[in-house]
Structure formats: C-alpha cells, structure tokens
Structure 1
C-alpha cells in the first residue's frame, strides 16, 4: 500500500504507519509457521484475549481439514472478526467483558477447565493467548467472589500499577492463571501460541500465563496489594501470608514437554512501521518496544526528544519518524470536590468526567502540553487493539496547532490531565483516532513525525 505524502498529509501518513504495525500482528499472517504437527490423539484449543477471535479463525483456516480440532476461546465483546465465507466452524467462541471481568468470562473459564479433564498423553492442547486474557479468563480463587475480583481489578487498573504487578496479583488470586490451566491439561502436551502485549515479551505475563510457570510468589502479590492499598477478603489475605495460593514454578514436571511460540510481538510491529516509513523516504528510529511509566511523563520525554530533533538535528536528523512501544500506565486521579460537570465546548471545565482517557490519549495530552506548539512536529499514539481505555477510540493525534486550538477554546491541558480526561480534550478538537477493533493486540504504538 502506497504511503500518503508526509509533507502534505502528516496525519494520514502516521495512520498508515499504525496500520502497517497492526497488519504485521494479524494472526492469519503469522500463525502458520508456529503451528505444530497434528498429534496421534485429538487436538483441543483453549485460551483467550482480545485477539482470541482472530486467532481461532486463523487456526481453523490453517489446520488440516482432515485433522480433528475442537475447543473453546473467549474474546472481548465486539472483537469477533467477520467470518470468511465457507470457513468451517470448529472452535467455539464466546465473548466476555474487558478490562473488568464478568460472569460470561467466569463461565468460559470454568468450561475450559472441564474440557481439559480426561486428556491423554497422545492429545495436544493448543493454548492461544493474547493481551486481555487476564480479564477474559477469570476464575477467582476459592473464597473470592466474582464481585471481589471485579473490585480488585478496578482498583488495580486505577492504581498506577504496571502490568507485571497487576498480573502477579491476578495469578495468585486465580484458579486458571499462573500455569494452573496447564496443570489441568496433564498429561496432554501443551503448545502455547502467544501474541505478546507486554514489555519484554514475558509469556508468563501475557494473559497472566495460564499455561506457563510462574516465578512470582504469594509474598510479592501481598506486597503489591499493600503498596497500592488494595483490600482482599481476610481469608485470602491469610492464604497469601501463608503461601497457600502459590502457583506452579519453573522446573515443575507439570511443564515437561510443553512449548511456547510467539506469534507476534511489539518489536515486529514497530519494525513493520519503520519499514513503511523508509519506503516513503523517511528515516525511522525505534526507541524501544519496552517503554513503561506514567503516560503523561512518557509523553513529556518524547516531546523533549522531538524538540531536540526539530531544533538541532540531534540525536536524529530530520526528516524522520520516531517510534516506540511498550505499556505505560495511567494513575487515575480523583476530581476535586464540587468539580463542575459541564458539557463539551464550554471552556476548561467542559466535559468534566474523570478517568475517560486511556494510555495513548494521556500520552498525547502530555506530549501536546510539552511540545508547546513546536512547528513541524506531528504525533499519533494508539493502542494496537483499537481501543484506548474504556472509550471508542484507539488513541489520538497531535499537530503543531493542537495546543493553540485547545487554548482558544479555553481548554487548558493541565485541567484535563488532572481528571484524566484526554478523551474529552481530543474529542472536542476532532483529533481522536478511531479505528474500531483490530482483532490483534501488541500494545502501545507511538509515532512522532519531525519534518
């Protein structure tokens, strides 16, 4: 696909790079080389994530028609891709809630454990996992209700904890995560096919590692809960203190003969975007696929880099594209007492709803504030699953005149950052990036264009 001219259509050019990154991570393009040979016994497919629907369809298309195939996958509501005409349905697909789990996800996880019973050594379990699986595959530990799990999940999401910390807690409060699904599948062989959405591609963190060993401990989970002030029922607290909710560890015979294969990674998608930029005559530089930290602060750092390139040609010569990925965090701040609840377009307190900005939006808001209208710098940040946070956008776009247009409407970026409302800020400016679900997920995508 020919790239738009970056000098005349910078937004379209950055959207082109985003789409190149997403295409590189689509399961139909990447799953085939990772598939094992069919076993002597039967093949059972289990797993979940935001890419669950696309992974299941890709497997149905690629698996030999004569080889038995059945199973159950769970994906996020409205993340089931259009089904190709004539493709036989061999894997059941159900939808559930994300990022806060619901009863549909609970029922799916219970059914998966039941399906794993009675497998033999000649059978094969293909576990297809992708980002979002932690919420979609929910099966609370004994003594923990779904309501408890939902409350803990909401508090974790708002706490500013990073993905490693959140999933450490999730694994120890679950009956299916942290290697427990693999334990249920014994003595069958398990091959885990994963689309990575985590910094470092640690498969034990992707979807909280339902089929792989877990090196974290109850003590670590307890420390995280206490550090962020998250309460758990007293019974669960005692079990964590006594190590009664420990997960299967590396070296356990449970995982003998099991394999893990990465189907798509953030780095591969960033490289695809860089290749698309270079094909258009623009040099591209990948900072890292593992950038973490508060979204707004990461935005400020990217702004400082872009300003240095624009002003001094350091550390990169312009024109260029600066790419990065990873998983930043948003610590949700409570609005001040008595904050007005105005509607859009009415000055700096308009659209005053806290917590409506996801990671990409808050990154862009921090970036726009720090760029201070820097000429000839544009940026796009979006989640590769097409959904940033809880709203309908993938992310947002920043142009040299973004801050000026906002201030002309009385929309001060600091006020919107104070209530985590990047969505409201960029919505009022017409600068949201809306793609709909992409049916994959390799985490944050950020691109800055300096001309």
Structure 2
C-alpha cells in the first residue's frame, strides 16, 4: 500500500473515534435524573459537530422517556446533519469562518428563548469547534459588516486560538458564559474540544461556560488526545512504528511544516528502523500576507513540501483538519512528498511564491495533493501525520 493511502486510513480511524453521537449518548447517563425531573428540556447544539451531538442527545432522551420541547442546531452552510424534520426542531445554517446574518439570527433566537426558561427547566448545551463564528451576537455598537471585517483581521493575524477567542469574547453578548448567565434554567454542557489544552472558556469562545454558577455543569466528551491515541493504534496496525509527538502542537504553520520535514529527513538519513509514523494533533497559525486561498493545514503541508523537494521519496507528510475542512475550502488539508513542488511547477506554480501569497489551495490542487472528503461530523483540531517508509 502507498504512504498516502496509509495516511488516509490513519486519519479516518482517528476521525471515527471522535464522532460525538455515541459520546453524547453515554455521558448523558450521568444527567438522566436531572433531565427526567425537569419541567422543560431544551437542546442547543452549536458547532461543526452539532448535528451528530444533537442526534446523540435526542436518541438518549427518546430511549429514556425525556420529552425535549425544543431543539436548536447551528451548523455551517453545506452541513448534512441527518436529523430529518420534527416538531420543535430549528436548524440554522450559518457562516464559518466568518459570521453571517444567520449566525446573528441563531444567537439572537436562542438567547431570547433561554431567557424565558425558569429554575425548574434544563437547557442542554452541546458545543463544538466552529461555534465562535456560527453563533454570534456582537455588542450593539458593532454592525455585522464591522464584525465580519474584524473576524477576518483576527483570522489573518497569526494569533493563537486562545488569544483570538479572548478578543471575540470581549465584543459578544453570548460568548464568555453570557449565554449561560442569561437563563435561570439549569445548564448541562457537553463539549467536543478543538483547542489545545481543552479550556472550556476557549472552545467556541465559551458561550455556555459559567463555572461560578452552581447550576452549571460542564464535561469534555472528546478531544485531540483521543484522535492521537487512535491514530497511533491504526499506524501500528498498518505496520508502522508510531511515535506520538504532541497532542497540542502550536506555532507558525510554515515553521512547523518545515521543521517536521527537516526532522523526517534527518531520521531517514540516519537509517532509523522503520517504517515510522510521527503523529501530532494541535492547531497552528498563519499570519496572512497575501490574498490567496488556503488554510493552516495546507500552508503547513506546502512548507513541508518545499523542504522535502528533491529529497528522499520515502517521506510523506500530511496535515488534515478533523472536521474535513481547512479554512474556507472544500479540502481537509493536503498530503505531500518530495515530488509535490515539481508537479506544481509543471502546472505553472511556484511553490515558494504560493506560500508567500498564502495561496496554498490552488497550488496543492495542481499537484493533486489535496484530500477532499467533506464534513466529518466532528472537530477535535488538526492531525499531522509524517511517515517514513522503507519499502
């Protein structure tokens, strides 16, 4: 089998392990009593994995005779959530990574609804990555165009997700626990983490996280650590010596890509017993300097491809978003090797210029290096796989 196909198998195994429907279902057993005794139960699912999370919650409630009065689901445009149509279900398809009118409408609608709940009620927040843009109600002095421009600036700034979401919380009426504080109802919050460190205040900018409230309970039900563990297991099953490097990889995407490529080249030249799979999860950053199209995973992969160019063809490096989408594109990321930049050049692309212009998507597409598979239904950060094959 090829290194590319092995990487895809490793990635898909990690994604399957982080699908949240079953995780939500299992964790709700802890709250069965509170749900059954509540006067009204409301489900609010926000994020790229909101459809799967809502499905798990609704299945649990149906099997345990819990009546859900209303369900709100907020997902990116183009998502397939598989919930069908039912009474009390409201679905908002909203903007990501830039909020749009639907993002604001979703936040305004949910906020108004939970403000009407009472102490004997329970609201179940199911939060996953992407929620910052999908669910947003800015402070009154900020218009939607101003909010969109500001979000674009934050994304292009190269700041870490912790820094970006701290700023987002400062200009929002629903982030930073404000949604949870707006209701008298008891709050049960299940989080699928896509941020290094799994801080509930950072995941989707923490709309439901108000730890000072005794009626607020929060649980992390999935994270990058699970993806990393299963990726290692799958790599070993495929015959690789799996070496997990980090569960919280951060830093400049181009630097990380170049460094991984250099490390793999050094390991390969030393003749270290293989085949080897270096594995990491995390979230790198890109300081956008051009007007091109791409995402942090493609940027990382392109930088790695430049470093690998003309070298050993035993090395293949991939950087892939576990949500199936890297930035505002239809690809999860890219899989590159020592031939990638030469293939780009044959199609008229200069790899270094594409990197400088942050135009990784079309350049990698020209080399047939992108991996497209659609939304996965989960989101637990990015998975970076570097393999050294000794076929």
When the two structures are superposed, what TM-score results if normalisation uses the length of structure 2?
Answer: 0.93
Partner Cα separation in structure 1 for residue 140 and residue 67 of structure 2: 35
Given candidates 19, 29, 32, the residue that maps to 1:26 is 19
Partner Cα separation in structure 2 for residue 370 and residue 429 of structure 1: 16
Kept in 2, the 8 Å contact 1:39–1:123? The answer is no
The structure richer in strand per residue is 2
Structure 2 residue runs without a partner (length 5+) = none
Partner Cα separation in structure 1 for residue 202 and residue 271 of structure 2: 38
Partner Cα separation in structure 1 for residue 106 and residue 339 of structure 2: 48
Residue of structure 2 equivalent to 1:123: 121
Helix, strand or coil for the counterpart of 1:199?
coil
Given candidates 308, 320, 324, the residue that maps to 1:386 is 324
Alignment of 1:358-373 (within 5 A): 358-372=295-309, 373=311
Alignment of 1:20-59 (within 5 A): 20-35=13-28, 36-37=31-32, 38-41=35-38, 42-59=40-57
| 1:333 counterpart = 2:333 | no
How far does residue 425 in structure 1 lie from its aligned partner after superposition?
Answer: 1.1
How far does residue 379 in structure 1 lie from its aligned partner after superposition?
Answer: 1.7
Given candidates 2, 11, 34, the residue that maps to 2:4 is 11
Structure 1 residue runs without a partner (length 5+) = 1-7, 214-249, 335-353
When the two structures are superposed, what TM-score results if normalisation uses the length of structure 1?
Answer: 0.81
Deviations 1:175-215 (A, max 9, x none): 000000110122x21111111000111111000001114xx
Kept in 2, the 8 Å contact 1:266–1:289? The answer is yes
Partner Cα separation in structure 1 for residue 189 and residue 36 of structure 2: 15
Kept in 1, the 8 Å contact 2:107–2:136? The answer is yes
How far does residue 90 in structure 1 lie from its aligned partner after superposition?
Answer: 5.2
Q: Which has the larger radius of gyration?
A: 1
Stretch of structure 1 that moved more, 101-110 or 400-409: 400-409
| 1:448 counterpart = 2:353 | no
Residue of structure 1 equivalent to 2:108: 110
Residue of structure 2 equivalent to 1:402: 340
How many residues get paired?
381
Given candidates 344, 347, 364, the residue that maps to 1:426 is 364
- RMSD (Å), alpha carbons: 1.7
Stretch of structure 1 that moved more, 174-183 or 155-164: 155-164
Alignment of 1:86-235 (within 5 A): 91-186=89-184, 188-213=185-210
Deviations 1:138-180 (A, max 9, x none): 1011211112111110111111111111111110100000000
Helix, strand or coil for the counterpart of 1:290?
strand
